[in-house]
Structure 1
């Protein structure tokens, strides 16, 4: 659909042909008309509150962002942004959040978008764009609405392989952006800035990128018309076809073993409570799809596990599988696919991924809020309250019994390790659940699912952000700072593994200190990539043939044993090491006190290593110093 919208906006497609194309793809006439009307408003540029503005290129960009209601711009400094910096200095409402490294600036913008639901703005040095790509990829995987700007050399210098030049700065970002543009004409600054904001923010979201060469940034006396961004907003309200919804409802009512799979489109639509209502109405089990959010409460008796980096109960037994706003489960996201005989109902706003692999009986191209509410209405219209109660009650009762048994079993499996020191990750997360604010936001980039399994993640309770579905490390600290900027009145805690922390996140501490961003940062420090070591061991032919001969060549992180408290102190951030169970409450009380005083806090938590060869501290003994023939 994004290509159709672009063609309509570029006047390459008529309104009639746009509507025909949408209907041909399975949209209802009402949905096609709704989108067409919304896009037409943007295409025609109708607006109130428009005004003319004259300034240099940097001032025009800043004024566009101000008119669009942007409050924060995440930035890494560069000479080419000089005119933009001057403009921001004259606009107190436009706040620059400086990061020392482009990847962390991108993670902060990503976190801000995830925490606020608003499009985030990011201004990078042109030469720094390669550094953004890892976390730009993460943002793209999460369908996060980011607008990335960069400076660049003057247009008359391109193509010479000169200072900070490559043949094409657009090409590296192409895979991770919905749209990108190399702007060459100052008279189009406002147009393309607005378009970048509109395209990024139109669901399904995603990053956009605009490059401003130096001659555009420094162009003088540029007169542009400023419009409120609302005049270019495309409200994608896509109602599903009534006949398809009625058939889906019948399938769910008649199913013996239904399973509902939920993804991030549900959370982005604010449809979580509706999904819970639908699941309870039918007593239908629910799995968490591949998502950066917690889209269904993990402590709900109907929750069956993760259909992505996990294997939910009942997935292979389901006779009807309702997918709501998530990738379909398969081996590519480390889970099992549904059976070929399972009747699949696949509802996506991002409709072009429907039926790419799995046979799909019903394809629903529509918004998740509209779809779930329509399903609720249709189920209730087709089955009496008594029939629905007869369907759901035995399922709910069984789910409650199974849940209670699972809770006992979960604790029993860890009984021998529960009081150990170093503490196991599960115990630390269990204790954190008791001491954190009830509505804390937990930003996760750790190697296991201890936060999900041992903390109360549910609507109106603790909210989970992460891990990113990109799984590219070096994200969690920067993301937590962005989340806190978006939600300053909620407690925010970042839980990251020591391995993730070492993937270029140290620089984010400077931003936390400079802007007094009161986040609790917990480094789960076990001096190891536990998960990676386990996977390498499992895939090793040598380990299968001779376990004693196998060695951990790459995953032990001790020697040197890094002290993250000392590192934080170098940035003026207080913190402490956590090594004893009995200190957990005291440590996190001091962390919360620091946050209340407006300061970030670092907790270096000693965590037990687990899994194959966890006890080993062996690593290849290589000393370059010993190889010298001259001691220099």
Structure 2
């Protein structure tokens, strides 16, 4: 045992867990922890000017590394400022360790400055575990437990509040190696369920696969691709509203785009195999199931709460996606009926022809020079470097992305399904810290950027070289699309109260320069490539404000 202050115990426990960064907006209730950081060069404190930026950066870092993203904020006011971003992490099961300094325990109940009756309760519904430290000699134990809970599948955020007097207290501390608190290995499925699933897939004349976010998180793309190719099964990505990763190679001839109940292959499906996907995250109510009522449903997911959440399932499998697909491949290869191989071959040819019909064709922007969302996405796919990572919070522009963007196998993709705006730039900064040798591009809406504009200062302060592409349609187009769909007076008169970001328009390049980030605006398609190349060569954070035109697309 060694004698440490509570603040030192906090830092020591994170060091042993392999944490490299603490993202934070400091306050006086964390002073002993901040003081202790002067002794821990292994822990870099990344200063943000808003707690949402801190949480968003930790979220991006955790998505890229699958390790906990650690955040330090200031009591109730700091915690409140993280809620928008914490919700994103909670919905996508991202391992965040959110910590907050709390008032001296001797002040509690006296109505002290920044006191709140129950700080852990504030975030309890958005975390896997929420705790108030009550003894200084448990700080190390609780921080170790927090990292364990956050990273154990199904992963997710946790919260720890630490009173400032306990941070100052000197205690005896014994810290065990981190591997003694982690749970290694992959959960395998029940063999009987593997056999049921395998037989259904081999026997079906019209099976489909829905590839979900957990495919990417489990690094199971090779196994899923092999399964689809052996049985010639069309593959849909998870629903566009919840798709956060590249879940199947979108250049593959069997890839059919995001899941849609209107797709003929879905409407005629005999077997639906949900692989690591949510089934589903509805955007609006529909009394009609998204697939035929006679279809057999197989659902594989690491989180049992996701299975049969809405619709009944014929073959449920709670398991690690990669391990389950490996077991399924073993069974199918050993039992593949030779008399059906011709049917699989014919289905492969039909899928290739159907895929050719899905190939996007350039919209009118190629001749007019104006930049439509479709044209932006097509051109972006042409100019993204090898190994590039695209972080998507383009909102309405994003609706065109799965259909018009063709990512290479070497490129990466991240988005969030929570809907809390402002996530894109902070997440891109966190991803870049985790993957320093890869180009990182944040595609964000103008409305989204304003929610996280303070992150530009952090990008400049630490010279984190990301490229920020602002899809500037000068308004909240999602609300305009909803009003058009509603079909009321606003749609009739084409008047959209509260939806336009004009009068004045925001000068994003000037705003970014004020934060120390270079930027420029473009209005013509031919300006995009030179501007993007200039941003790549800058080797520093760079913003490109892209003026978009085009009709308002319908909501999904």
Quickly name the TM-score band, shorter chain normalised. over 0.9
Query: Does the aligned pair in 1 maintain the 2:256–2:355 contact within 8 Å?
Result: no
Alignment match of 1:66 (pick from 7, 10, 15): 15
Give how far 1:612 is off.
Answer: 7.8
Change in CA separation of 1:421 and 1:562 when aligned onto 2, cut-off 3 Å: farther
- Per-residue Cα deviation, 1:262-293 (whole angstroms, up to 9, x for no partner): 21221111111111111111111111113311
| Mapping 1:166-177, distance limit 5 Å | 166-177=116-127
- Per-residue Cα deviation, 1:459-514 (whole angstroms, up to 9, x for no partner): 32x21100x110111110100000100100000000001011122x1100010000
Change in CA separation of 1:484 and 1:370 when aligned onto 2, cut-off 3 Å: same
1:124 maps to 73
1:605 maps to 546
Instruction: Work out whether 1:368 is the aligned partner of 2:321.
Output: yes
Give how far 1:573 is off.
Answer: 1.3
Alignment match of 2:500 (pick from 549, 556, 568): 556
Query: Does the aligned pair in 1 maintain the 2:87–2:418 contact within 8 Å?
Result: yes
Give how far 1:240 is off.
Answer: 1.0
Give how far 1:453 is off.
Answer: 2.8
Query: Does the aligned pair in 1 maintain the 2:429–2:464 contact within 8 Å?
Result: yes
Alignment match of 1:592 (pick from 519, 522, 536): 536
1:470 maps to 418
Alignment match of 2:479 (pick from 529, 532, 535): 532
| Mapping 1:188-267, distance limit 5 Å | 188-220=138-170, 222-267=171-216
| Mapping 1:374-413, distance limit 5 Å | 374-384=327-337, 386-387=338-339, 389-407=341-359, 410-411=360-361
Distance in 2 between the 1:122 and 1:388 partners?
54
Alignment match of 1:149 (pick from 99, 124, 142): 99
Query: Does the aligned pair in 2 maintain the 1:441–1:464 contact within 8 Å?
Result: yes
Instruction: Work out whether 1:427 is the aligned partner of 2:371.
Output: no
RMSD (Å) for aligned C-alpha atoms: 1.9
1:500 maps to 448
Change in CA separation of 1:287 and 1:524 when aligned onto 2, cut-off 3 Å: same
Instruction: Work out whether 1:326 is the aligned partner of 2:277.
Output: yes
Query: Does the aligned pair in 2 maintain the 1:53–1:60 contact within 8 Å?
Result: no
Distance in 2 between the 1:392 and 1:237 partners?
31
Distance in 2 between the 1:88 and 1:264 partners?
36
Instruction: Work out whether 1:296 is the aligned partner of 2:240.
Output: no
Give how far 1:236 is off.
Answer: 4.8
- Per-residue Cα deviation, 1:587-628 (whole angstroms, up to 9, x for no partner): 111100012xxx110101111142289xxxxxxxxxxxxxxx
User: Which structure has the larger Rg over C-alpha atoms?
Assistant: 1
Give how far 1:305 is off.
Answer: 2.5
Alignment match of 1:513 (pick from 450, 460, 469): 460
* Unaligned stretches of 5+ residues in structure 2: none
Please, which moves more after superposition, 72-81 or 161-170? 161-170
- Per-residue Cα deviation, 1:101-147 (whole angstroms, up to 9, x for no partner): 00111000000011122111111111210010110000011100011
Query: Does the aligned pair in 2 maintain the 1:305–1:312 contact within 8 Å?
Result: no
Please, which moves more after superposition, 420-429 or 141-150? 420-429
Give how far 1:209 is off.
Answer: 0.5
Distance in 2 between the 1:563 and 1:334 partners?
38
2:109 maps to 159
Query: Does the aligned pair in 2 maintain the 1:329–1:338 contact within 8 Å?
Result: no
2:390 maps to 442
Change in CA separation of 1:311 and 1:113 when aligned onto 2, cut-off 3 Å: farther
Distance in 2 between the 1:139 and 1:311 partners?
30
Distance in 2 between the 1:530 and 1:343 partners?
38
TM-score (norm 2): 0.94
Change in CA separation of 1:331 and 1:317 when aligned onto 2, cut-off 3 Å: farther
Change in CA separation of 1:312 and 1:135 when aligned onto 2, cut-off 3 Å: farther
| Mapping 1:11-30, distance limit 5 Å | none
Change in CA separation of 1:440 and 1:333 when aligned onto 2, cut-off 3 Å: farther
- Per-residue Cα deviation, 1:303-335 (whole angstroms, up to 9, x for no partner): 222238x85552232110111111113645788
Alignment match of 1:454 (pick from 390, 404, 428): 404
- What secondary structure is seen at the aligned counterpart in 2 of 1:502? helix
Give how far 1:428 is off.
Answer: 1.8
